[in-house]
């Protein structure tokens, strides 16, 4: 790809999504282990849900035509949930409980709060209308209907839905295999003594966390020695066992770094300057059958670039059908942003503040690319277009972090 001097962030996303090759390998997974998996095929209901007409509450199953003010009626049977009732005898009622089947002959349920029992008889203080307080068979799900579509990422709610139609196992797409490693003689791991010139490797921990949140199977090669030979070996190893190889830093245009040269020797690489702030450098390429992505090395730049560009790419690679443009909500700013950038789209770290019932957005005071505190503090991003300024009260584009990772 021959990229312009500065590639619009929307164009970069389109380019990545066009090149996302969905996984096709499947595995059969029990419901208890299928959370965050992606469904491989449509699921159709083999039963109606509910399977029969049942009571929506505790009360009395009745024939509505039998109910008259102050008339005492005999209680002919008691029907708990799970019971198989007999037909309702004429001129009688049945004590019934939530979820229990409606007996043949009954056409309504009167809630127990409107009933006045006296021994084995009962009278009612309200009339009954046919169908009241009855949940009809198939009201939630009808037999043979598509309950879950292929490409659905399975949440707890969808797992419950599958269980409600009797599915114990589901055919799902296998997890996307992602290898990560980090280079730089300056890196130290948390827990180690920080000697002069060293920094802690924070990128490893937020990157792994984001990948695992998306349901990826992560292979972590840790810190690779800062040499071309070691980097090439790590890349070849990672690419042979993964669908995607991810690194942070070292691939900017003109940067003398072993990752860039190693990728060029092992496969092919495009280097882009994205019109995004924080961020800008992004590398995308192929090593064998694996995709390669090189994120910016600054923690916030890498974090924001991952959320906006790499997370959608990963979702598409996972075979998900719900890969949408960024989820945007318009909310009023509670801050001022007078610094306009003529070329780049900026993404400010913000969070919602509720005061006197009104929601506004507060911006983190330090928006630098190395201020990781800002993303730990924030619950979303505000998109600022080139040449845009913001005044308090202006409606702005708000992107919730939770939605970007959903």
CATH number at residue 114: 2.170.190.11
**Domain encompassing residue 39:** 30-47+149-173
**Does 381 reside within a domain?**
yes
- Which among 310, 283, 329, 321 is positioned nearest to 405, based on CA atoms? 310
> What confidence score (pLDDT) does residue 3 get?
45
Q: Which residues contact 248 (CB under 8 A, 6 or more apart)?
A: 182, 203, 207, 294, 295, 296, 297, 302
Percent of the chain with pLDDT over 90: 82
Regarding whether 354 and 248 lie in a shared domain, the answer is no
Note if the bond before 56 is cis, omega within 30 degrees: no
Exposed, middle or buried, 165 (CB in 10 Å: 0-12/13-18/19+)?
A: buried
pTM over 0.85: yes
Query: For residue 182, what is the domain's CATH number?
Result: 3.40.980.10
Instruction: Work out the pLDDT band at 270, boundaries 50, 70, 90.
Output: confident
**Does 345 reside within a domain?**
yes
Residue 202: CA atoms inside 13 Å, Cβ hemisphere, count? 15
| Backbone angle region of 131, left / alpha / beta, with phi > 0 → left and psi within -120 to 50 → alpha | left
Residue 254 is given by DSSP the state T
Q: 228-241 and 258-266 helices cross at what angle (nearest 10)?
A: 50
pLDDT surpasses 60 at 118: yes
> Ranked by mean pLDDT, which of 28-42, 181-195, 275-289 comes out on top?
28-42
Tokens of 135: 């949940």
Q: Which residue has the higher pLDDT, 262 or 55?
A: 55
Q: For 243, list phi and psi in degrees, rounded to 5.
A: -90, -25
The pLDDT of 136-158, averaged and rounded, is 97
The pLDDT of 387-403, averaged and rounded, is 96
pLDDT surpasses 80 at 41: yes
Instruction: Work out the pLDDT band at 39, boundaries 50, 70, 90.
Output: very high
Q: Which of 240, 272, 294 is the last residue of a domain?
A: 294
Choose the weakest-confidence range: 118-122, 188-192, 236-240, 290-294: 188-192
Instruction: Work out the pLDDT band at 256, boundaries 50, 70, 90.
Output: low
- Number of domains composing the chain: 4
> What confidence score (pLDDT) does residue 2 get?
45
Regarding whether 167 and 34 lie in a shared domain, the answer is yes
Regarding whether 183 and 276 lie in a shared domain, the answer is yes
Angstrom distances, CA of residue 301 to CA of 197, 335, 379: 22, 22, 16
């Amino acid at each position: 790809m021959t990229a312009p001097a500065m590639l619009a962030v929307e164009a970069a996303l389109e380019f990545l999504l066009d090149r996302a090759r969905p996984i096709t390998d499947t595995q059969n997974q029990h419901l208890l282990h299928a959370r965050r998996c992606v469904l491989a095929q449509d699921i159709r209901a083999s039963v109606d849900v509910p399977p029969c007409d049942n009571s929506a509450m505790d009360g009395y199953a009745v024939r509505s035509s039998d109910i008259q003010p102050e008339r005492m009626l005999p209680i002919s049977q008691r029907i708990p949930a799970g019971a198989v009732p007999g037909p309702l005898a004429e001129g009688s009622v049945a004590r019934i409980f939530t979820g229990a089947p409606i007996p043949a002959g009954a056409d309504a349920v009167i809630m127990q709060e409107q009933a006045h029992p006296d021994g084995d008889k009962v009278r009612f203080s309200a009339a009954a209308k046919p169908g009241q307080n009855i949940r009809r068979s198939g009201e939630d799900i009808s037999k043979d209907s598509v309950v879950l579509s292929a490409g659905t990422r399975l949440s707890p709610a969808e797992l419950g839905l599958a269980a409600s139609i009797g599915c114990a196992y589901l055919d799902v797409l296998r997890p996307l295999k992602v290898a990560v490693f980090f280079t730089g003689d300056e890196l130290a791991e948390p827990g180690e003594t920080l000697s002069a010139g060293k920094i802690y490797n924070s990128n490893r921990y937020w990157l792994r966390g984001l990948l695992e949140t998306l349901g990826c199977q992560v292979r972590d090669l840790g810190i690779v020695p800062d040499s071309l030979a070691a980097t090439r070996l790590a890349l070849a190893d990672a690419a042979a066992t993964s669908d995607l190889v991810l690194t942070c830093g070292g691939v900017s245009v003109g940067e003398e770094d072993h990752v860039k040269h190693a990728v060029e020797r092992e496969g092919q690489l495009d280097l882009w300057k994205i019109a995004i702030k924080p961020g800008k450098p992004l590398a995308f390429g192929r090593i064998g059958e694996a995709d390669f992505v090189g994120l910016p090395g600054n923690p916030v730049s890498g974090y924001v670039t991952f959320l906006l560009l790499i997370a959608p790419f990963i979702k598409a690679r996972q075979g998900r059908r719900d890969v949408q443009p960024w989820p945007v909500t318009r909310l009023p700013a509670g801050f001022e942003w007078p610094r306009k950038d003529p070329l780049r789209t900026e993404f400010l770290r913000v969070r919602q503040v509720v005061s006197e019932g009104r929601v506004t957005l507060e911006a983190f005071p330090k928006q630098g690319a190395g201020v990781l505190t800002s993303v730990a503090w924030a619950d979303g991003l505000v998109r600022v277009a080139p040449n845009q300024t913001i005044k308090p009260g202006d409606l702005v584009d708000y992107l919730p972090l939770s939605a970007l990772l959903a």
